[in-house]
Every structure is written in structure tokens, then in C-alpha cells.
A and B are shown apart, each in its own frame.
Chain A
Amino acid sequence: MTGILKVAFKLLVNDRGKFFALLIGITFAVFLMVMMTSMFSGILTRASATVLNIGAKVWVMDPAVNNVASSIPMPDYVLNAVRSIKGVKYAVPLYSGGALVKLRSGTYQFVTVMGLDDATLFGRPALVEGKIEDIFAENAFIVVQDAEFGKLETPRVGTEFEINDHLGRVVGLARVNTSGLFGVPTLYTTFSRATTYIPSTRFTAAYVLIEPKGNGDLSYIKSEVQKLGYEALTQEEFIQKISSFYKYKTGLGINVLLMTIISFIVGLSISGQTFYTFILENLEKFGALKAIGAKGRELVFMILFQATFTALTAYGLGVGLATTLIVTARMRLPDYAAQITYANLGLAFVMVLIIAGVSSYIGIRKVIHIEPFDIFRG
């Protein structure tokens, strides 16, 4: 069979015009599909940035919360009640809110403030400058050195600013694993300072973070939290909840889906049409092969091989192109939210296989029905 596949390969690649048209069409479609899904994936990851950066195993929240930014503060008794649940190793409150910062230049900048439990500083970021104990100093804040850092006029340790008519002082610079989605700088401070400096509602804890004693305790903890009227989610479940919100409750998911489908249709049209033309042009030759003694299944293998080879080559090119663009864009644009995941690659791969399948089906139908007698008749 390898010999006949080699013939198929030569027939395909030696017809350079059509081969390149096929490659370009499918490569472009793969590129678009991977780019669209990667951007969406990047957006979803950034939407869960706080969850990933804080790193708590279990999050307790109001059931109406559907993303980190729109937290609903809970009364203080929830923290105590959670702490008393069997299987909870420890539980700490987390403040999450927004505030306006007046910079040294006089301009204002909106920031996200994370208030960490005073006793444990659970969820603290890794510092690149300064000491963590300085967070207990007067007016102390830690600034996250991410893509939004420049919006605070690139502060250094010791830089002062004004936050809701309170003096703020930078005591450390930190780095986090993932930047946020909304282009807002992040400050870390203690829970008590956050609730003091930032005007808030009667209740202050946006989330209660739990460290369970063991994974076996999770279901019991969840059911007990549910009895309190709240919801306990593992980190993965919370990320999934946020993803579902952006996918299904905003226009984002459907728009990305539509663009991905359009890319697929473009790829399918170009590939299907070009491959069909390729088969039509070679139809008599396939008929001659049949007359010489090629069996139908050998011709089917030839066409399947041609379609699969083209699709997989274009898949590699498309993924390579998308990766190059994303890496380049990330070097130039720190805010660029796109990431290639195995799921993105898998989706594009399945779509490419469909493109190859449909294209070859069209060709196979023609070739199977060509009669060698037609070649004689001319």
C-alpha cells in the first residue's frame, strides 16, 4: 500500500498551485479557530485570576456570586460557623473590593484591593521587593507588579498615594501567576485595613477561604455550608462557575463560538472546493488507474491519504502560526489575554478532521463512481 500512497503524495504535492491553495485555506481556518478559542481561554483564565492567585482550596460565598469581581459580602457569623464545621482545618476571611487611588501626579486610578486575613495573611502573593511583615506597618500596601503596574506610575517601595482620603504607602512589590481581566492594578493589604480604608457595606468578608483537613471532608463541608445558606466551592469548581458565567451569561461565549464556526466554514469551503477541483482534474487518471487494475479501496486510501496529509500539515502550520502570533503579542502587549490549551488544540484538530473527512468524502464519491469504460469512451 505504501507505493500507491507515494503515488498519491506525489500527485498531491506536485500540483503545487492546488496543494498550496489547500494548505493556505486550511492553515488560515486552523489559525482563526485556534486564535479565537485561545483568546477566549485566556479571557476565562484572567477572569479567574484572583481565584488562582489566592490559591485557596475551598471558597465560601453567596450562591448568587458568579464571578470574583461581583462578590456579595457575608456576615461575620459565617466565618465562625464555617470554622466550627468538622473537617475544616482553618478558615479565613478575604476582602475583595475596588477603590480609587490618587497618584502623586494628581490623577486617579481605579484599583482592586485584596484584604488578607490579619492573622495568617493566607493567599499572600510572592514578593519581589520588600518584606511581607511590613504589611502590618501603618498605611501599608503591596502592589502587584503585573501588566497594570504602570498605571500606578510605576511605584517603588516607599512611594505614597492617597486611597479614599487615607494615606497609602507601598511596602512591597509582588508578582502573581495570572493578571486580571479588567486592566485594573491590584493592591494587597490586611483585611482590617481594607475594611477600614475602603467604604463598605455592613458585612465585609467577600469570601471565606477554607483549608479542609482532607479531601474526604469536602462533601460534608459543602453540605454544612449549604445549610447556612451559602455555597462552598473547590478552586476548580469556582473557576468552572466563572467560566460558565462568561460562556453562557454574557455574549462572549456565543460570539467566540460564532467566529469559530465561521472559521470552520471558511476552511471547509476552501478545502472542500479545492480538493473537489483537484479530484475532478484527476478523475480520468483515477479512472485509468481503475482500468489498469487498481481496486476501489486503493483509490479510497489514496484520497483519504491526500486529504489527511493536507489537513494535518495545515493543522501544524496553523497552530504554529497562532503560537508565533500569541508569543509575539505577549512580548509586546503584556495585557494580551490568549493562551493555547490542549482543549483549543483538540477542538481545532477535530474540526480539521471534519474538514478532511468532508473533502475526501466528496472526492471519494466521484472516484468510486467513475467507470473505466468512461475512459475508453473518452
Chain B
Amino acid sequence: MSDLAVNARELNKWFGEGEARTFAVRDVSFEARFGEILYIVGPSGSGKTTLLSMISGILKPNSGHVLIENQDIWSLPDDGIADFRLNRIGFVFQDYHLFPRLTTVENVAIPLILKKMDWNDALKVALEYLDIVGLKARAQLPPVKLSGGEQQRVAIARAIASRPDLLIFDEPTASLDGDTGRKIVEFVKQDILSDRRCIIIVTHDSRIFEFADRIMKMEDGRITDVATGA
């Protein structure tokens, strides 16, 4: 098995046509390896989120390839891409996007339920992942009863419940205070990262740069710098 988690080649994404065409991502190539935390940083509008969406099977590039284990994900049919996201990628959204009408454990079980796991079995597995993020005792509460940091951890539990090789974090500390944000990323680095898992984090938050293995800087849709983290 290759140690490359993501191999992105000459990705381009533009919006609009003719004179109105605007490049969000231009000729971006990069690799991300298993066992590393890669940060994508840059100012607003630099193309971070667009790039993240293309490598995670959410937004189709206008040109270029995203190879995961030598499979070009954008050559897959729609259902295949959905299955790819379900089985290979864990998302932690900026606003968590937890279902307020479900309990915490049910939220974590969602990817498992989408994978057709039996309801009760899914809840059992979800409880184990809640234990990993230290929230087993809060399993039956709705997410709205949890603090921001706790909700972030629930979102992480949900993201790792389907045992993905690639974890995508979109601005994980944006809604948290500095201390909680640091603790979350520290927890991710210590307890979630593994040899067979790659974590890509999009962030503005320089306070958590110390946890990165590599930091990829973007500006105007291009990668302008790749640095080794602290």
C-alpha cells in the first residue's frame, strides 16, 4: 500500500465563463501522506475550501486529478463518489453540523447507519467512539446541551466512526476559544492521527500551527509555500 493518502495533480477550478471566469484554484499539485497532519492556510478567498472540496470528492475540478490509492476519484460515478466519501473520508465541519433533534450518540452513529449497519449495533460502535473523545457520559444528551468544545469532539467522533483514512477539518478552531481550540487539535494529533490516517486541516488560526507536520500556504488559488511544521 502506498504511503500517499492524497495525490492531487494539476487541479484547476474556475467559476463563470468567458470574461467572467474566475479561478478559485489554479494548477495545484500536492501530496499528503499517511501519518501526517497537513495544514492548508491562507487568507479568505485564497482557494483553501475549494481545494479541500475537490480532494474530498465534493466539488469536481474543471481539470486535473485526485488520486487516492491510485484511484482517480473523479472518474467514479456519482454513487461511487458518495461511497468514497462515506468509506474513506471523515469530515469535521466548521459549524459541526450536528443534528440538534438527535442524541449525541445518534449523531455519531450517522455514518455507520449510512453504511447500512444495524441501528443498535451502530449505536454501540458510536458509543465506543464517544468514549474515545471522552464524551461517553453525554451520549444521550442532544448536541445543543454540550459546550462548543464538546460539540467539536462529537463531530470528530462522527468523522472517525466510519474509520476513514483521510480526515478533513474545516476551520476546526473557528468557533472555539483559544485554549479549547488548542486542546482539540492536540487531542486530534495525539489520539486520532495514526500511521494509516492522514489529517488535512484548513485554518486561519496561527495558534495551532505548532501541531502541523507540514503547512501549505495558498494565495490567489495557488500554493505559494510548503513548510514543515513545528
- Per a CB cutoff under 8 Å, which of B59, B78, B106, B114 touches A373? B59
Contacts A3-B117, A373-B58 given; indicate if A15 touches B111 (C-beta within 8 A).
Answer: no
User: What chain B residues lie within 8 Å of A285 (beta carbons)?
Assistant: 97, 99
Q: Which residue of B lies closest to A294 (CB)?
A: B114
Interchain CB contact under 8 A, A11 and B119: no
Contacts A294-B82, A298-B114 given; indicate if A11 touches B97 (C-beta within 8 A).
Answer: no
Decide yes or no whether A106 CB sits under 8 A from chain B.
no
Interchain CB contact under 8 A, B94 and A292: no
Decide yes or no whether A77 CB sits under 8 A from chain B.
no
Contacts A2-B119, A10-B106 given; indicate if A378 touches B95 (C-beta within 8 A).
Answer: yes
Interchain CB contact under 8 A, A295 and B79: yes
Decide yes or no whether A293 CB sits under 8 A from chain B.
yes
For the complex, give the distance between the alpha carbons of A7 and B99 in Å.
Answer: 10
- Per a CB cutoff under 8 Å, which of A3, A4, A288 touches B97? A288
Number of interface residues of B (CB under 8 A): 35
- Per a CB cutoff under 8 Å, which of B78, B97, B111 touches A284? B97
Q: How many Å from the CB of A18 to the closest CB on chain B?
A: 10
User: What chain A residues lie within 8 Å of B52 (beta carbons)?
Assistant: 376
Find residues 32-53 in chain B having any chain A CB closer than 8 Å to their own CB. Answer: 49, 52-53
In the complex, identify which listed stretch (B68-76, B84-92, B181-189) lies at the interface while the others stay far away. Answer: B84-92
Decide yes or no whether B113 CB sits under 8 A from chain A.
yes
Q: How many Å from the CB of A2 to the closest CB on chain B?
A: 7
Which of A15, A282, A373 counts the most chain B CB atoms within 10 A?
A373
Q: How many Å from the CB of A232 to the closest CB on chain B?
A: 65
For the complex, give the distance between the alpha carbons of A378 and B171 in Å.
Answer: 11
For the complex, give the distance between the alpha carbons of A292 and B82 in Å.
Answer: 8
- Per a CB cutoff under 8 Å, which of B79, B94, B106 touches A378? B94
Q: B110-121, CB under 8 A of A: which get 1 and which 0?
A: 110110111100
User: What chain B residues lie within 8 Å of A11 (beta carbons)?
Assistant: 99, 101-102
Main secondary structure of the interface of B (DSSP, over half): helix
Which of B79, B94, B114 counts the most chain A CB atoms within 10 A?
B114
For the complex, give the distance between the alpha carbons of A266 and B101 in Å.
Answer: 28
Find residues 83-140 in chain B having any chain A CB closer than 8 Å to their own CB. Answer: 83-87, 89, 91, 93-95, 97, 99, 101-102, 106, 110-111, 113-114, 116-119, 122
Decide yes or no whether B165 CB sits under 8 A from chain A.
no
Decide yes or no whether A130 CB sits under 8 A from chain B.
no
Decide yes or no whether A6 CB sits under 8 A from chain B.
yes
Q: How many Å from the CB of B47 to the closest CB on chain A?
A: 12
Interchain CB contact under 8 A, B86 and A3: no
Known A-B contacts: A11-B101, A14-B101, A371-B58. Give 16 more (CB < 8 A): A1-B116, A3-B119, A10-B101, A10-B106, A11-B99, A11-B102, A284-B97, A288-B97, A291-B93, A292-B85, A292-B86, A292-B111, A293-B111, A298-B114, A376-B53, A377-B49
Q: List 5 A-B contacts (CB under 8 A).
A: A7-B99, A7-B113, A371-B58, A375-B97, A376-B53
Residues on B facing A (Cβ under 8 Å):
49, 52-53, 58-59, 78-79, 82-87, 89, 91, 93-95, 97, 99, 101-102, 106, 110-111, 113-114, 116-119, 122, 158, 162, 170
